[in-house]
Amino acid sequence: MTDHQVHLQYKLKDYHQASYGWAVACCKFDHDKGQDVLQAAYLKILEGRAKFDGFSSFKTWLFSVIKNTAREQLRKERIRSLLQAAIRVQPAEYPDLEEEQNRNIEVYRLKVALSGLSKRQQEVLHLVFYQDLTIQEAGHVLGISTGAAARHYERGKAGLRIRLTEENDP
């Protein structure tokens, strides 16, 4: 193992927990898919297929790699799903009711409120609130301008405020 790979491993370890949270968010909160995406992203980095260019912070770059890896995985899943449909093989889907029942009521309310926002608003809010990125860094991760990220951030916060307030009104 090269010194560069060892250095990368330490950097990845520093951000592992936050990276896992972002990977899960990129996979629509499916923890198993999030783990797969994170492992694939780490592999890309350690094999040198994704290289840190220094134009942003390491964390911002890492989150971009994770987001792109998740997109690739979801694209592959869609293709696989279309192929299965074409040959009339449908995988069984069973909702995880036990997990849903164990959720904290406040977390569930927040999740419902978030689901009413646009996907981009959800992503920006997740990166800013849960991953401690700036709005500028969140825009970089998502491949949008800082101005667009700021608009999604403000609109997302306003939308959440309205949805959460409406739930508390009789």
Taking only the tens place, the pLDDT of each residue in 117-156 is 999 999 999 898 888 899 999 999 999 999 999 999 999 9
Cβ-contact 32, 73 below 8 angstroms = no
pLDDT band at 99 (very low <50, low <70, confident <90, very high): low
Residue intervals in the chain for CATH 1.10.10.10: 96-170
Residue intervals in the chain for CATH 1.10.1740: 1-93
pLDDT value at position 89? 43
pLDDT value at position 129? 84
Cα 31 to chain centroid distance, Å, stands at: 11
Cβ-contact 167, 113 below 8 angstroms = yes
For the entire predicted model, the pTM comes to 0.61
The CATH architecture of the domain made up of 1-93 is Orthogonal Bundle (1.10)
Q: CA 28, CA 77: separation in Å to the nearest integer?
A: 13
Opening angle at CA 118, ends 117 and 121, nearest 5: 85
> According to CATH, what is the number of the domain 96-170?
1.10.10.10
Q: CA 126, CA 70: separation in Å to the nearest integer?
A: 15
Cβ-contact 164, 110 below 8 angstroms = yes
